[in-house]
Amino acid sequence: MMGLTYAEENYLKSIYHISEGGKRSVSTNDIAASMKTKPASVSDMLRKLGEKGVIEYRKYYGVHITEEGKKYALQTIRKHRLWEVFLVDKLHFTWDEVHEVADELEHVKSKILIQRLDEFLGFPKFDPHGDPIPDEYGDVRSRPRLPLSEIDIHGTGQIVAVKDSSAAFLRYLDKVGAYIGAKIKVVDKVEFDGSVEVLVDNKKNIFMSKEVAGNVLVI
């Protein structure tokens, strides 16, 4: 397969995420919204990606990522998430600072560099936001997770990931004391608005809106 440009890699990664790992077709409007650009620009990029065999596009039927495209997208995602681990664990970035930096580093082409990086980090399975890191073959280790908002009163669990990895949301979680690895117990749920009261690590009670609790994932 021909190599992809940085822009093509970004589009392919976005298509992969929107399509839920290739499970469904996506529209040009979905892609335009994700990439913050105009549908006309998306159409031009889809033509290029189609010529390289990483997507299939039929007007009115949407965009479907091919098996070759999935492999390419997963390798880009792997690099992104490994760099996030490196930035947090070794360079002491906070988890809300790493996304944009990793967006730049994910385009490194050297396979041996990424293999050495993976080894240096101890072959991590999850990034700082709890997202699984694909291995060098594109295999992803998934685990069942539930939004905190779906946990019953007196239910317990552990925070393992977030659905919203925006810097503002992550800073909010830092402010209230919710973090990856925290043990939680649902103390109360408000019927009126769906907000929840949560005991964290058996020592601190915090309150979350329904929206916040829906973006915190637990096992």
- Domain CATH code at residue 168: 2.30.30.90
Confidence at 2, pLDDT banded by 50, 70, 90:
low
- Domain CATH code at residue 111: 1.10.10.10
Query: Model confidence over 167-217: pLDDT tens digits?
Result: 999 999 999 999 999 999 999 999 999 999 999 999 999 999 999 999 999
Residue type, 92: H
Sheet holding 183-189, edge to edge: 146-147, 216-218, 156-162, 183-189, 196-200, 204-208
Query: Model confidence over 129-178: pLDDT tens digits?
Result: 999 999 999 999 888 899 999 999 999 999 999 999 999 999 999 999 99
End of a domain among 87, 120, 142?
A: 142
- Is 195 inside any structural domain? yes
Query: Looking at the structure, do residues 134 and 152 belong to the same domain, yes or no?
Result: no
DSSP SS3 for 19: coil
The β-bridge relationship of strands 183-189 and 156-162 is antiparallel
Q: Is the pLDDT of residue 1 over 70?
A: no
- Is 1 inside any structural domain? no
End of a domain among 125, 142, 159?
A: 142
Query: Looking at the structure, do residues 47 and 21 belong to the same domain, yes or no?
Result: yes
pTM of the model: 0.89
Domain count, the chain: 3
* Assigned token pair, 131: 């997202």
Q: What string of DSSP letters covers 32-64?
A: HHHHTS-HHHHHHHHHHHHHTTSEEEETTTEEE
End of a domain among 127, 142, 157?
A: 142
- Is 71 inside any structural domain? no
* Assigned token pair, 43: 């159409």
Q: What string of DSSP letters covers 159-197?
A: EEEES---HHHHHHHHHHT--TT-EEEEEEE-TTT--EE
Tell me which residue range forms the domain holding 60.
6-65
